[in-house]
Amino acid sequence: MMRVRGRERHQGFPRAAPDATPTNSGFQVARPALVRSADVGEHYFAKRPQAQSRPGTVDLVLPDLHFRLATDRGMFSPDRVDLGTRVLLDTVPPPPATGDLLDLGCGYGPITLTMAARSPQAIVWGVDVNERALECGWANAQAAGLDNVRFSLDDVIPAGLRFAAIWSNPPIRVGKPALHALLTTWLARLSPGGVAHLVVQKNLGSDSLQRWLGERGWPAERLASRAGYRVLAVRAAENTGQTTDQTEGTP
Ligand SMILES: C[S@@+](CC[C@H](N)C(=O)[O-])C[C@H]1O[C@@H](n2cnc3c(N)ncnc32)[C@H](O)[C@@H]1O
């Protein structure tokens, strides 16, 4: 049975709000209304955000886990856990129990920490370009007592590392060429038999991304469609010889 993380550190959590739902552990949590996060600043993927620091917290409440997460200005969705992230975490199958797992574009870590808690024997890598977000991620892992996470800039992951699973709410707003380059780089690092789960808003091109993935040799199936988001399950390429033209075939 999954442990509820961070309870001992955050005594003030809501326990039995009117919309609370029972869980397998008997622990009751308030399920906040799902709201679409529109707080996607222009520069959430800056390496060193210029926005004045204003620390905050958000609660990530899932049926099996509850984290209170530190956030700040200058990163993705600092006021609430993004709805796409929630949809992913609500619908994705359990991650592999062991091996190296990747959260691509981890931000302050809601996906990284969920993977780490669901697979405590695995090592979970949270990769991002935003140093402020990575600092929050580290603090959040420590507060949750998770020692199987590694937050890193994208260019310091050991080159030979392969991932048994990748979960990502990818940075669509970097633009199609950069997004395709990012996915080409990291999907090539899936282990044989590995699966990547990506959540993408339908309005932001999930269906064309799904087609592009298929054309590039990564068959992608739609695992879930909810609240305007698609969760795509992407299989590791049969061979590792991915082509280098990252934008050809772009819809
Ligand atoms: C949509 S946000 C998701 C953040 C976090 N996973 C969440 O669910 O709240 C995408 C993240 O990708 C990061 N990102 C942008 N370009 C990147 C790159 N080249 N490599 C790694 N991460 C990148 C952004 O800084 C941002 O934190």
For residue 15, tell me if it sits in a domain. no
| Rounded (to 5) percent helix, strand, coil in the chain | 25, 25, 50
200 CA from centroid of ligand 1 (Å)? 12
Residue type, 104: L
For residue 242, tell me if it sits in a domain. no
For residue 52, tell me if it sits in a domain. no
Domain span at residue 176? 80-235
Residue located nearest, by CA, to atom 4 of ligand 1: 107
Question: What is the model's pLDDT at position 251?
Answer: 30
Which residues are CB-neighbours of 186 under 8 A, at least 6 positions away?
A: 102, 104, 127, 163, 166, 196
For residue 68, tell me if it sits in a domain. no
Question: What is the model's pLDDT at position 9?
Answer: 33
Contact between residue 135 and residue 53 where contact means Cβ atoms under 8 Å apart: no
Contact between residue 229 and residue 201 where contact means Cβ atoms under 8 Å apart: yes
Q: How far is CA 47 from CA 50, 109, 135, 140, 180, in A?
A: 9, 16, 12, 19, 19
Q: How far is CA 140 from CA 17, 130, 203, 216, in A?
A: 24, 15, 31, 36
Count Cβ atoms within 10 A of the Cβ of residue 138 and give its class: 0-12 exposed, 13-18 middle, 19 or more buried: middle
Contact between residue 12 and residue 6 where contact means Cβ atoms under 8 Å apart: no
CATH code of the domain in which 231 resides: 3.40.50.150
* Cβ of 130 less than 6 Å from ligand 1: yes
pTM of the predicted structure, to 2 decimals: 0.82
Neighbour count for residue 169 (Cβ, 10 Å)? 29
Q: How many domains does the chain have?
A: 1
137 CA from centroid of ligand 1 (Å)? 12
Place of tokens 């999954």: 2
Residue 60 falls in which region: left (phi positive, over 0), alpha (psi -120 to 50) or beta: beta
For residue 38, tell me if it sits in a domain. no
Which residues are CB-neighbours of 161 under 8 A, at least 6 positions away?
A: 100, 125, 189
> Which runs of E-coded beta strand occur in 10-120?
21-22, 28-29, 56-61, 66-71, 100-104
For residue 8, tell me if it sits in a domain. no
For residue 113, tell me if it sits in a domain. yes
242 CA from centroid of ligand 1 (Å)? 23
Question: What is the model's pLDDT at position 31?
Answer: 32
Residue located nearest, by CA, to atom 14 of ligand 1: 105
Question: What is the model's pLDDT at position 154?
Answer: 84
pLDDT average per 10 residues of sequence, the chain (251 residues): 35 24 27 35 72 94 97 96 98 98 98 98 97 97 97 90 98 95 97 97 96 96 97 82 37 30
Q: Quick one: which of 46, 66, 48, 47 has its CA closest to 58?
A: 66
For residue 5, tell me if it sits in a domain. no
Rounded CA separation 184/93 (Å): 23
